[in-house]
Amino acid sequence: MIEIQVYNSMDSNFVYRERTGKMAEKVYMDLGDVQKTLFLPLWGRAVETQKENPLLRDPKAVEVVKAVDLDLAQLYEKLDDLSQIAWIKRSLIADQMIGRFLQKHPEGTVVNLGCGLDTTFDRVDNGQVRWFDLDLADVISLRRCFIQESDRRTFLAASFLDEDWFTEIPKDQPVFFLAAGVFYYFEAEKIETFFLRLMAGFPGCELLFDVSSPAGVKIANQKVIENSGLDERSYLTWGLVDKKDVLAWDPGLKLIGEYHYYRNMKLSLRNFLMGKLSDFLGIQYMLHLQLGEAN
């Protein structure tokens, strides 16, 4: 559970401001280790944004990182460049695929599963999309400190594994589901059950999500989690051997695309070799599926 306290800050280096124009406020949190992991991709986007020629711009990520009264140094000091590049590429892929979806369905619906502090909406909003950010209640409470709902953007406090929130999602337009950094924290059986429920509830929907191979799970647990000072409660669980294993769950699951992180990226020699190996072995990548046929 996240404990949140907000207090005034007169620190001149503190850049977060309420949208209402009130005095700057800083957010103190008592986070569990699993919840701390939501700051990892946020940090990656913030660092990238402040580069001279960033691959991705996310000013909101910079604001949030500076606004949080949390010692992030231990989380990040031992992380390698490839981890940050993967988080950036994951965001770029999501932006592109959602952009394509909205080109075909400008008034479509997007549901961001396990949204954490993700800011994809701010980057892809076309002025018409209906957007739902879904996560556990304590994460949604944290999210409200930095990001606001609107008439087209709704926060849902729920586990994606539950079905109660299905009724909150309109079905008059096509639906796109995004799950970035979510599924590999759960056992494959739970993910399979969820996919089949989602296909039954939203036939013809699209689902974009990231996966890791068993080797990728092991690497992530050692290099990212342990090196960040987090404990085993933050470990990844589900390692996908082959995308065919997912498609075998039901004949209604159709592959739209498979997207690897390090292709066509400018990398240092060391990162180039490691990135090529990661892509070749399927260490981490994204899958884009269509779930059944629209009614």
Q: What is the pLDDT of residues 266-286, one digit of tens each?
A: 777 777 777 787 877 888 899
pLDDT of 18 reads 33
Mean pLDDT of 18-33: 46
Mean pLDDT of the chain: 82
At 23 the pLDDT is: 31
pLDDT digits (tens, 9 = 90+) for 219-240: 777 765 555 555 555 578 899 9
Task: Using the predicted structure, report yes or no on whether residue 19 has a pLDDT greater than 70.
Answer: no
Predicted local confidence at residue 22, as pLDDT: 37
* 118-127, 197-206, 259-268: segment of lowest average pLDDT: 259-268
Closest CA to 67 of 21, 37, 35, 28: 28
**Is pLDDT above 50 for 162?**
yes
What pLDDT does residue 47 have? 81
Phi/psi for 87 (5° steps) reads -65, -40
pTM over the 0.95 mark:
no
Which H, E and C letters describe the chain, residue by residue? Answer: CCEEEEEECCCCCCCCCCCCCCCCEEEEEECCHHHHCCHHHHHHHHHHHCCCCCCCCCHHHHHHHHHEECCCHHHHCCCCHHHHHHHHHHHHHHHHHHHHHHHHCCCCEEEEECCCCCCHHHHHCCCCCEEEEEECHHHHHHHCCCCCCECCEEEEECCCCCCHHHHHCCCCCCEEEEECCCHHHCCHHHHHHHHHHHHHHCCCEEEEEEEECHHHHHHHHHHHHHHHCCCHHHCCCCCCCCHHHHHCCCCCEEEEEEEECCCCCCCCHHHHHHHHHHHHHCCEEEEEEEECCCC
pLDDT of residue 16: 30
Structural domain spans, the chain? 81-291
Q: Please report which confidence band the pLDDT of residue 264 belongs to, taking 50, 70 and 90 as the band edges.
A: confident
Higher-confidence residue: 221 or 214?
214
**Over pLDDT 90: what percentage of the chain?**
47
Q: Which pLDDT score, from 0 to 100, does residue 4 have? A: 35
Q: Tell me the mean pLDDT in the region 80-97.
A: 87
Which residue did the predictor score with more confidence, 16 or 224?
A: 224
Residue 199 has pLDDT above 60, yes or no: yes
Provide the pLDDT for residue 236.
81
Task: Examine the pLDDT at 29 and tell me if it is beyond 70.
Answer: no
**Torsion angle of alpha carbons 114, 202, 260, 221, nearest 10°?**
30
pLDDT digit string, tens, across residues 113-135: 999 889 999 999 999 999 999 99
> What pLDDT score does 195 carry?
98
The residues with which 208 forms a beta bridge, in sequence order, are 178, 288
Look-up of token digits 């913030």: 46
Determine which of 12-21, 160-169, 216-225, 267-276 has the lowest per-residue pLDDT on average.
12-21
CB 113 within 8 A of CB 160: yes
Residue 293 token pair: 């046929």
Contact 92, 241 (CB under 8 A): no
CATH architecture of 81-291: 3-Layer(aba) Sandwich (3.40)
Output 3 or 201, whichever has higher pLDDT.
201
How many whole angstroms separate alpha carbon 229 and alpha carbon 79? 11
Least confident span in 44-58, 114-128, 168-182, 265-279: 265-279
| Short-list 169, 176, 125, 165, CA closest to 289 | 176
